[in-house]
């Protein structure tokens, strides 16, 4: 059963990832990316990490996808450019993909995989919250300061562009 679900999810992830790379329309690529994110959330559920799965949906399929799609829609003429056209971009894409692949392969190769039969530790949301407020207190508070800065920046950008009326 778990195997079947895994292969269905893996199929969705690989298909949507290919769809994203192949899409001629940047907006469609973004939608395919969201499908890919949702498939990865399903993998987290299979790994018995429901909170990580929820975060995957909330942060990746939610926040990051929204920023990405808004970025496309707010950028001048980006919807009409074909990302596959220019050779320099293709070369840059190939280089980035190869570098990323190298990092992944090396990480998988050197990671000490636990192949024993001991129980997988249950994800404990409460202790995660406790660590956030003790060990990782500074990053935790800094996160809210960063979010504040991001919003102030967004207001500045939106105020500055007092050109044509909202579409």
Partner 1 sequence: MEYAYVALFLLGGLAFVGATLTLNRFVTSPHRPSASKLLAYECGEPPIGEAWVQYNARYYLFAMMFVLFDVEAAFVIPWAVGFKTMSLDLGILPLLEMLIFLSLLALALVYAWRKGALEWV
CB nearer partner 1, residue 63 or residue 99: 63
Output the smallest distance, CB 91 to partner 1, in A.
27
Does 104 contact partner 1 by CB under 8 A? no
In the structure encoding, which two tokens stand for residue 133, read together? 């407020």
Choice from 10, 63, 96, 97 touching partner 1 (CB under 8 A): 63
Q: How many residues bind partner 1 (CB under 8 A)?
A: 52
d(CA 56, CA 13): 14
String marking each residue 113-132 x if it binds partner 1 according to CB under 8 A: ------------xxxxxx-x
Does 15 contact partner 1 by CB under 8 A? no
Does 6 contact partner 1 by CB under 8 A? no
Q: Which residues here bind partner 1, judged by CB under 8 A?
A: 1, 5, 27, 45, 51, 54-55, 58-59, 62-63, 66-67, 70, 73-77, 79-80, 125-130, 132-134, 137, 140-141, 143-145, 147-148, 150-152, 154-155, 157-161, 164-167
């Amino acid at each position: 059963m778990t195997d079947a679900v895994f292969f269905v999810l893996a199929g969705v992830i690989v298909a949507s990832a290919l769809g994203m790379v192949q899409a001629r329309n940047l907006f469609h690529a973004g939608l395919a990316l969201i499908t890919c994110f949702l498939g990865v959330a399903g993998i987290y559920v299979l790994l018995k990490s429901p909170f990580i799965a929820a975060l995957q949906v909330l942060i990746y399929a939610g926040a990051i996808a929204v920023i990405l799609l808004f970025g496309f829609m707010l950028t001048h003429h980006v919807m009409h450019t074909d990302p596959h056209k220019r050779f320099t971009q293709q070369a840059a894409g190939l280089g980035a993909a190869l570098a990323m692949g190298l990092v992944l392969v090396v990480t998988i190769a050197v990671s000490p995989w636990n192949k024993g039969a001991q129980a997988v530790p249950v994800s404990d949301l409460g202790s995660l919250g406790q660590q956030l407020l003790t060990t990782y207190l500074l990053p935790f508070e800094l996160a809210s300061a960063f979010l504040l800065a991001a919003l102030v920046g967004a207001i500045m950008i939106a105020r500055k562009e007092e050109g044509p009326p909202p579409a």
